């Protein structure tokens, strides 16, 4: 599973920064391959990735289960950079929110999670139709969350009222909503604490969910390994 040279690459999105963090799980040494303990460098100034660490851990576990040992290199970048890297053949597979088409590539949903709304004194579920009366704080349109939000309202022909500023991270988004600057729409896993007051977002009583997908080239020479990896990710969700 290679992107360039002998390194496997899976990339995930970073909504608030273009800094890249990488970690190698397996690598070649001489003519053989040996398993190293996974390691990742931490960037305390980086943004909060929409693709969470649990999904990345599942990808690492799936690669370790491949019939033949492979290298896995994890990198963060914003969603558009990931898509461009895949189109250029620099990446084998990308994990991104399923919010935009990418023709001629294989797609597989590997995770879904419910959306919640922060910034209300209530805790009862909020219908999408009622959400049109809220003013929403958004993040820069680089991680997929803002695209998801705009698509959700547009599909229902609802107006989307937005706060004039933008939050630089999911934590700031939550904090601004708690201060009363507006409402914030977040995947539930991105709340800083289970105790944060939030409302499930529903559509006719059904939970509104955001989906994450794996995208890869059908013509890749690593097709069998990529299919194995994606099947494992989908099965473990």
Residue 165 token pair: 């500023």
Q: Is 103 exposed, middle or buried (0-12, 13-18, 19+ CB in 10 A)?
A: exposed
Determine whether domain 113-210 maps to CATH 3.90.950.10: no
State how far the Cα of 229 lies from the Cα of 207, in Å rounded to an integer. Answer: 28
Question: Which DSSP string do the residues of 8-45 spell out, in sequence order?
Answer: -EEEEE-SS-----EEESEEEETTEEEE--------TT
Q: Which residues contact 221 (CB under 8 A, 6 or more apart)?
A: none
pLDDT of residue 60: 84
Task: Tokens for 25, please give them.
Answer: 């799980």
| pLDDT value of residue 45 | 23
Domain boundaries, the chain: 9-112+213-235, 113-210
Do 9-112+213-235 and 113-210 agree at the fold level? Answer: yes
In a 3-state reduction of DSSP, which class is residue 156?
A: coil
Q: Which fold has domain 9-112+213-235?
A: D-Maltodextrin-Binding Protein; domain 2 (3.40.190)
Q: What is the pLDDT of residues 122-136, one digit of tens each?
A: 889 999 999 988 999
User: How would you classify the pairing of strands 105-118 and 184-187?
Assistant: antiparallel
Structural contact between residues 110 and 213, judged by C-beta atoms closer than 8 angstroms: yes
CA distances (Å), 65 to each of 107, 120, 220, 229, in order?
21, 45, 20, 9
* pLDDT in the model for residue 49: 63
What pLDDT does residue 31 have?
26
**Cα(3)–Cα(229) distance, integer angstroms:** 15
C-alpha 210, offset from chain centre: 10
Segments of the chain scoring below 50 in pLDDT? 1-48
**pLDDT tens, residue by residue, 15-32:** 443 333 333 333 322 222
């Amino acid at each position: 599973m290679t992107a360039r040279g002998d390194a496997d690459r899976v990339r995930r999105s970073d909504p608030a920064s273009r800094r890249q963090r990488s970690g190698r799980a397996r690598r070649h040494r001489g003519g053989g391959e040996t398993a190293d303990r996974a390691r990742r460098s931490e960037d305390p100034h980086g943004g909060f990735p929409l693709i969470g660490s649990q999904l990345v851990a599942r990808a690492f576990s799936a690669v370790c289960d491949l019939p033949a040992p492979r290298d896995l290199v994890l990198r963060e970048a914003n969603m558009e950079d990931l898509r461009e890297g895949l189109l250029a053949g620099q990446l084998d597979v990308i994990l991104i929110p399923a919010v935009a088409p990418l023709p001629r590539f294989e797609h597989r949903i590997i995770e879904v999670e419910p959306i919640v709304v922060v910034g209300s004194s209530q805790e009862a579920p909020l219908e999408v139709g009622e959400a049109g009366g809220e003013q929403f704080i958004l993040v820069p349109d680089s991680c997929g969350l803002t695209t998801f939000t705009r698509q959700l309202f547009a599909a229902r022909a609802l107006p989307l009222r937005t706060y004039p500023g933008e939050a630089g991270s999911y934590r700031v988004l939550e904090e601004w909503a708690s201060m009363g600057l507006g409402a914030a729409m977040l995947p539930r896993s991105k709340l800083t604490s289970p105790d944060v007051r939030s409302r499930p977002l529903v559509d006719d009583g059904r939970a509104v969910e955001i989906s994450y997908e794996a995208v890869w080239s059908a013509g890749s020479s690593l097709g069998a390994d990529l299919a194995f990896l994606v099947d494992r990710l989908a099965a473990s969700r």
